[in-house]
Structure 1
Amino acid sequence: MIEHSNAVAVLRAHAAKAEDNDRPAPEALEALRENGFFDLRTPGDTWADAETVARQLTSLGRACPSTSWVAGTCATAKTLATRAFTGGEVFGDPDALFCGSGIPGGRGERGPEGVRVTGRWPNVSGCEDAVQAVLGVLVDGAFSFVLVPTADLTVERTWHVAGMRGTGSHTLVADDVLVPAGRVAPVEPFAVADAMLFAMTVLGPVVGAAQGALDAVNALFASDRKPFMTAYTRMGESPGARHWLAEATYLVQRAETTMLSVAREADGGALSPADAPRLRKALADAGRDCRAALDLMLDLHGSSGFHTSNVLQRFWRDVAVGSRHPHLNAYLAVENLGTALVQGV
């Protein structure tokens, strides 16, 4: 049973700690585990559809986008594990945290006992706290996934970025790790619905971050803060400030509406490859809406919004980084949609 309020309160209380340590706070991870957020894509009765995943991650991102991102990575990794591997022991603990990388960063050599894997996978969110990793590997030249306990891997702390710092997206390293044959599977083409789900796990935390920033700006309008160097006594007295607030609110709401609309299409089960360029363009636009909204909010707040103690600057940095994930690449989305239109796909 997923409980929002308990987990959200814990994430909000420990968001700064996550950023300071370049990994999710232990208290936040435990709250997600206890409240079922790592169980969203564990096979069984709790299996969540794309809209549910998007809504849940958005609610978490409103408090701590980085920790929400790690929950999304877990949903993606468990989806991949479900598609690739069989055996109930894979999900013996339904609330276990999984991580992963679809980059073929390693090579595997087959032997009588299984496949021996050596490689490096950068930007693996939550890797210091996950118990299993789904990793891309080239085995005999074939792109494959392997499922490896993170205890068999080492972590290089390479994640030093401006935003989404608390995701702990460090580098996983394998040095001649033996993976049983049953934990090696060729990568099959992803269904469009799965591809949209993967994008939801990225966009949900970004939309949540934009909503969290909007919470901070609404609090500004409810306070006695006034626009500096004006005769106004409160922010809300300024028509320009009201205009900017309306624009920012509209953009955040449009981003969420777009995201949920795509999620519902993915859940409808009737998507074909021809739908993918259009849907990816919509998701990329939602990410850009979040960035544009944050710019307006920082205009409203002024330079104090960039103070390191101000939550607004953290949301701004998290949106700036998270919305530029490859799943939300705006220029490639336009390129691919244009190609599809010209080819009549």
Structure 2
Amino acid sequence: MTTFFESIAASLTAPATVRSRVTVPLRFPDGFTAVAEVLTFHGLADGKEHLLLAFGDWDGMLHDAADGGNTPLVRLHSECLTGDVFGSERCDCGPQLREAVEQISAAGGFLLYLRQEGRGIGLYSKLDAYALQDTGLDTYEANRALGHGDDERDYTAAAQMLDAVGATSVRLLTNNPDKAAQLTSLGITIAEQVPTGVHLSEANHRYLAAKRDHTAHTLDLAPAAVERVLDPAADEPAPPAVETVNTAPGPGRILDRVDALIPRLRERAEATEQLRRLPESTMAELKAAGVFEMLSPKALGGSGLGVDTYAEVVRRLSRGCASTAWTAGHLAEHVWMLARWPQRVQQEVFAGGPAPLAAATGAPVGTAEKVTGGYAISGHWSFASGVMHSEWALLAVQHHGVRMQALVPVAELELLDVWHTAGLRGTGSNDLTAEQLFVPDHRVQDWALLGSADNPGSRIHPDPILHTPMAILLNLVAPSAALGAAEHAVELFREGMMVRRGKNTVETRQSDSLLAQARFAQAYGQLATARLHWEEAVRLVAGADARLSNLDDGGRAAYRLSLALSGEASAEAVRLVAAGSGGSAQRLAHPLQRIQRDVNVLLSHPTLAIDPILEQAGRGLLGLVFTVPSF
């Protein structure tokens, strides 16, 4: 006997087809961000404008699923204007939507936003049902009183959408058994049913209980939990209406997300150079991956991660694009710098979320004059990396011989488009100027205080990373970026040697040449040296003593020396690769040519300038006093 859903499926005259695809960055009220590729369709059975939001490397996941790998995570979410947009607590739709986007962003898959308001009865009818519920009926009884069914939703269009993108086997994120039953009848295989959270509040407990009792939703509504929500004066403390959790990614998840970005960063590397800033698509993906919030305190919604994860993220991003690694590394670092400020400033800059974006520059130092209520600052500051994407600027100023830092909205500064360089062109490290610009007292702080292990933010937040002296992280970006770029260069060299036919030689492949084999071994050895020095430096500052207060001059010298030697070895590996890669590698668009230029610029940065580092490191290792106190 043909079932109802089978007859619907059979009645479809043609499959749906994808109509359009567009990338949309998403931001939720709690600050969580994600990037979705939104698909629209032709030929949906009900003629409605349903949407499919794709997250992560979904094309790759579908390919892997066909070979027996993981299937995509899928959520069918029916439109709920009151809950999704206005935050109504009479249902759990808004929290479920937020939860689904985070889970699918992390796992890869699809959220289908289906235009089926009020379980298919429409917005006005749903509000009429709300009025009846206020008289004592539950949600299903109210629907029936209005002449509607318990649930009038039809997932035929959802099955068409999934079929159109090739997702014929899915892990379904739901507590509703009807969704799984309909999709199965429509030809979609449910590899696993993944339950959603129980978003219980005082306003929706009867609604959730009705879903459990009438339509067998798998909801665990233990009496004790309900009692705690309904009676805050009960013996046990009441949980919040919707459990508040820190959703920032941990070390493993953020590194996985960064790895997934690398192919797209490589595809955009040339465009990034030409733009002389990061593309908006790259910025959106970095935000969605949690890169900018990785050093932000947990209490502010950040990840509160350590030095080792931070350095590894910069290194891996540079395997895709050195300009992206440089910019993202510094913007993340500047979030950490803002978290070191006093509470008043933190309340101001973190009001919009856990990762306010700020450029920071200290060269050359500007001037600050004390005026009523604050300071008047003037200066011309260079190398403001990330300023093209920033709301704030951290500027070095001097007042009566004391170095200070002023926090200023970028909109109040003049931006000079001067970043025309051979390498790291995509960082947009332009200049900023100001003349007698007023900055209130609370947004000007002593640099020595902000840079110390015992800074104002470290007394507010328990995250160990805030006790790390400022100089530790300031010195990490350039060598980490150089190492990641060198790793990419050696990878490209190996690939080219294995497949390319040599010119003017008798060898079939370049790898068949004894000289080429020796050159590759040299490059590989230099890369190994760079990696070992870098790992030693990270080990020195990422140990159990999070405050690093006992890192003596010898330890600081060893740290800076290891980073400098890592940068030198990375540059030598890139030089060997470029010299052995033929004339084609000299084209401006060639990845190796770009890597070589980027690494050359990295080595000119003060954090990798070898001569002064060797001098000061030698003094520190010999037990002599540093002649550069900031070292």
- Under TM normalisation by the shorter chain, which class is it? over 0.9
Q: Is the 8 A contact 1:193 1:271 kept in 2?
A: no
**Corresponding residue number in structure 1 for 2:566:** 286
Secondary structure of residue in 2 paired with 1:286 = helix
Once the 2 structures are TM-superposed, how far is the Cα of residue 308 of structure 1 from its aligned partner?
1.7
Aligned to 2:387: 127
2-side partners of 1:190 and 1:260: how far apart?
24
1:237-252 map, 5 Å: 237-252=512-527
Look up the match of 1:39: 293
Verify the 8 A CA contact 2:335 2:358 in the aligned structure 1.
yes
Matched, 1:229 2:509: no
Alignment of 1:93-104 (within 5 A): 93-103=353-363
Mapped pair 1:335 → 2:593: no
Contact 1:128/1:155, CA 8 A, preserved across alignment: no
Which residue, out of 253, 256, 260, partners 2:528?
253
Structure 2 gaps, min length 5: 1-248, 454-467, 626-631
Supply the AA of the counterpart residue of 1:114: G
Residue 474 of structure 2 corresponds to 198
Q: 2:378 aligns with which of 109, 114, 118?
A: 118
- C-alpha distance in 2 between matches for 1:219 and 1:342: 44
Amino acid of the residue matched to residue 436 of structure 2?
D
Letter of the 1:209 counterpart: A
Superposed CA deviations along residues 150-186 of structure 1, whole A, max 9, x for unmatched, are 1111210111111111111110112332222111101
Higher mean displacement: 86-95 or 38-47:
86-95
For the residue of structure 2 that corresponds to 1:8, the secondary structure is: helix
Alignment of 1:15-164 (within 5 A): 15-44=269-298, 46-86=303-343, 87-92=346-351, 93-103=353-363, 105-164=365-424
2:91 — aligned with what?
A: none
CA distance in 1, matches of 2:275, 2:535: 32
Counterparts in 2 of 1:272 and 1:79: CA distance versus 1, 3 Å? farther
Change (3 A) 1:190 1:251: farther
Amino acid in structure 2 at the alignment position of 1:23: R
Does residue 1:215 correspond to 2:491, yes or no? Answer: yes
Match of 1:167 among 406, 409, 427: 427
1:282 Cα deviation from its structure 2 partner: 1.2
Larger RCO, structures 1/2 (Cα 8 Å, 6+ apart)? 1
Deviates more, 1:314-323 or 1:110-119: 110-119
Cα gap change, 1:23/1:255 in structure 2, threshold over 3 Å: closer, same or farther?
same
Distance 1:193 1:144 in 2: 16
Change (3 A) 1:320 1:132: same
* Structure 1, 192-201 or 303-312: larger mean CA deviation: 192-201
Shift of 1:247: 1.6
Deviations along 1:57-96, one digit per CA (max 9) or x if unpaired, are 1111111100110111113323332334433332232233
Report the structure, 1 or 2, having the larger helix content: 1
Deviation at 1:343, TM superposition (A): 4.8
Normalised by the size of structure 2, how large is the TM-score?
Answer: 0.52
Q: Which amino acid aligns with 1:65?
A: A
Give runs of ≥4 in structure 1 deviating > 6 Å: none
Distance 1:82 1:43 in 2: 7
CA distance in structure 1 between the partners assigned to 2:500 and 2:477 by the alignment: 38
Q: TM-score, normalised by structure 1?
A: 0.93
Partners in 2 of 1:104 and 1:113 — Cα distance?
25
CA contact (8 A) 2:554 2:623 kept: no
The answer on whether the counterparts of 2:553 and 2:620 sit within 8 Å (CA) in structure 1 is: no
Contact in 1 for aligned 2:523/2:572 (Cα 8 Å): yes
1:22-51 Cα deviation digits (max 9, x unpaired)? 111221111111111111222225122111
Residues 1:318 and 2:578 are matched in the alignment:
no
Q: What letter matches 1:149 in structure 2?
A: P
SS in 2 for 1:298: helix
Larger Rg: 2
The amino acid of 1:212's aligned partner reads H
What amino acid sits opposite 2:591 in the alignment? Answer: V
Secondary structure (helix, strand or coil) at the match of 1:301 reads: coil
Asked if the contact 1:77–1:133 (Cα under 8 Å) also holds between the matched residues in 2, the reply is no
SS for the counterpart of 1:308 is coil
Contact 2:537 2:558 in 1 (8 A): no
Whichever residue aligns with residue 279 of structure 1, its letter is Y
Matching residue's letter, 1:59: R
State the match for 1:13 in structure 2: 267
CA pair 193-214 structure 1, distance change in 2 beyond 3 A: farther
- Which has the larger displacement, 242-251 or 39-48? 39-48
CA–CA separation in structure 1 for the residues paired with 2:314 and 2:389: 18
- Alpha carbons 2:557, 2:621 under 8 Å: kept: no
Question: Are the aligned partners of 2:489 and 2:595 in contact in 1 as well (CA < 8 Å)?
Answer: yes
Q: CA deviation at 1:116?
A: 2.0
- Name the SS for the 1:276 alignment partner: helix
Say if 1:342 and 1:54 are closer, same or farther in 2 by CA, change over 3 A: closer
Alpha-carbon distance in structure 2 between the residues aligned to 1:321 and 1:190:
29
